[in-house]
């Protein structure tokens, strides 16, 4: 304990080290604040959608009630869906920065509606938005390098290494205390802003604890790596250059190359292309016999096959039928797109087994429910809700049942998910294994006699 207190007092006298820790603290606080502001903005948008939706439905109801046309009700009524941010989303925004979390859908073809705002596969973007996860994954290693690159070489270059170890009596206790103080400083600089944000966001205790473990594991990895380099009996400048190059490879170059390889190995059509195919199929229905469209629709909806044939130039049931047939025509593409996104995510997880930065980032996104799987799950909820909408409107359309004001209240309501998020144990185990392996290497090197 005396060694730790002594090292803590010495550390507090190092202005450069204190400035580094303070800088990391401010960056972590800024990342946390940015995440909280974004989550508050998204929650506010979600809160506003309900009264706006009610006002829109009321206006449509007032108009439709005049002639009670179910087709007008189904065509003009938008139904809101939303994906609320989890209690940890502030720390790792993930895909919520680029993927929609609010979507109003109609009973028309769904595929085109799902991808109207699609701007490409967000998996290809590496660093992403500035948030707490960005500070932890990309910036924390630089501050660890700053604190540890000259741990031994600085004393050696000052000519006091041997006298320092001799005065301490037990060299291992001396360096353990010094390393422990610096690790603690890094941990506090990262943990305090996060815990403040977690309290504000009402984050579940187990999630906060899991994030703290990830922080500690990531700091431990970079500390162990710095100690390995520090034992190479080289100058402080050489140590810093070696560690900086390692940081560049592990956090920037290798993940970028890995993601390019994954995207090449798992080719994926963009959602906008899928939407274009669906729209083409829908527009084609205007130019082919109505019986051909209805036959394709009845193949998947036989319960409506006995209804009266469409002989008029236009009928709402034919119109909604060919929208559904348009969705059916791209069902295979849609499944492939969904499977491709999840397959890329699975390979990204495997990439995290060898790259701690990727492992931590993916683990944070999984815990925060902001990863590709969470976005796919939101789309699946929209699909289920859209199916409920069609089942609700079809009896009115195919049986030509009047649709009055009271019928609007019978429409299905979208239900958002509960707060989710799980810890990917494999990723965390991979980070732990890499950290412990690096630490063992450092211990083995420390047993070698110094020249």
pLDDT tens-digit profile of 297-323? Answer: 999 999 999 999 999 999 999 999 999
Q: Give Cβ neighbours of residue 429 (< 8 Å, ≥ 6 apart).
A: none
39 vs 268, which has greater pLDDT?
39
Sign of CA pseudo-dihedral 331, 337, 341, 346: positive
Inform me whether the pLDDT recorded for 158 exceeds 70.
no
Give the residue from 246, 197, 226, 235 showing the smallest Cα distance to 357.
246
Residue 82 has which token pair?
Answer: 């939303």
pLDDT tens for 16-71 read 899 999 999 999 999 999 999 999 999 999 999 999 999 999 999 999 999 999 99
d(CA 297, CA 290): 11
Mean pLDDT of the chain: 87
pLDDT (0 to 100) of residue 174:
74
Residue 312 has which token pair?
Answer: 């008029």
pLDDT (0 to 100) of residue 9:
86
pLDDT tens for 317-375 read 999 999 999 999 999 999 999 999 999 999 999 999 999 999 999 999 999 999 999 99
pLDDT (0 to 100) of residue 449:
39
Q: Give Cβ neighbours of residue 169 (< 8 Å, ≥ 6 apart).
A: none
Within 10 angstroms of residue 183's Cβ, the number of other Cβ atoms is 18
d(CA 173, CA 200): 39
Inform me whether the pLDDT recorded for 116 exceeds 90.
no
Residue with tokens 């190059």: 245
Give the residue from 377, 18, 437 showing the smallest Cα distance to 220.
437
Contact 228, 445 (CB under 8 A): yes
277 vs 445, which has greater pLDDT?
277
Inform me whether the pLDDT recorded for 109 exceeds 70.
yes
1 vs 28, which has greater pLDDT?
28
Give the confidence band of 166 by pLDDT, cuts at 50, 70, 90: low
Residue with tokens 């990262």: 190
């Amino acid at each position: 304990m005396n060694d730790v207190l002594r090292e803590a007092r010495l550390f507090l006298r190092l202005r450069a080290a204190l400035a580094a820790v303070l800088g990391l603290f401010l960056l972590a606080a800024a990342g946390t604040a940015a995440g909280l502001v974004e989550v508050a903005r998204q929650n506010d948008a979600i809160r506003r959608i309900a009264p706006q939706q009610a006002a829109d439905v009321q206006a449509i109801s007032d108009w439709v009630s005049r002639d009670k046309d179910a087709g007008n009700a189904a065509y003009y009524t938008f139904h809101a869906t939303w994906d609320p941010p989890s209690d940890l989303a502030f720390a790792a925004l993930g895909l919520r920065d680029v993927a929609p979390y609010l979507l109003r859908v109609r009973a028309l073809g769904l595929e085109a509606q799902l991808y109207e705002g699609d701007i490409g596969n967000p998996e290809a973007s590496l660093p992403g938005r500035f948030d707490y996860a960005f500070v932890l994954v990309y910036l924390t290693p630089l501050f660890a390098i700053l604190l540890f690159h000259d741990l031994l070489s600085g004393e050696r270059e000052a000519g006091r290494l041997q006298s320092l170890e001799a005065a301490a009596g037990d060299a291992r206790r001396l360096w353990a205390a010094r390393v422990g103080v610096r690790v603690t400083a890094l941990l506090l600089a990262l943990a305090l802003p996060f815990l403040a944000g977690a309290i504000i966001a009402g984050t579940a205790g187990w999630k906060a604890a899991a994030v703290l473990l990830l922080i500690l594991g990531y700091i431990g990895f970079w500390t162990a790596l710095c100690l390995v380099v520090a034992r190479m009996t080289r100058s402080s400048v050489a140590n810093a250059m070696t560690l900086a190059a390692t940081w560049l490879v592990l956090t920037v170059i290798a993940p970028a190359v890995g993601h390019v390889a994954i995207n090449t190995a798992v080719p994926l059509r963009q959602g906008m292309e899928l939407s274009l195919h669906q729209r083409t199929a829908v527009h084609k229905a205007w130019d082919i016999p109505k019986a051909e469209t209805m036959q394709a629709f009845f193949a998947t909806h036989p319960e409506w096959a006995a209804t009266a044939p469409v002989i008029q130039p236009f009928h709402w049931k034919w119109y909604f039928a060919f929208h559904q047939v348009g969705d059916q025509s791209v069902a295979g593409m849609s499944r492939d797109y969904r499977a491709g996104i999840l397959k890329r995510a699975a390979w990204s997880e495997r990439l995290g087994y060898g790259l701690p930065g990727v492992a931590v980032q993916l683990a944070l996104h999984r815990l925060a429910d902001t990863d590709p799987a969470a976005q796919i799950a939101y789309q699946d909820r929209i699909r289920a809700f859209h199916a409920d909408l069609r089942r609700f409107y079809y009896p009115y359309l195919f049986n030509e049942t009047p649709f009055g004001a009271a019928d609007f209240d019978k429409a299905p309501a979208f239900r958002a998910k509960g707060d989710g998020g799980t810890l990917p144990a494999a990723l965390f185990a991979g980070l732990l294994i890499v950290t412990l392996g690096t630490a063992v290497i450092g211990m083995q090197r420390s047993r070698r006699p110094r020249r």
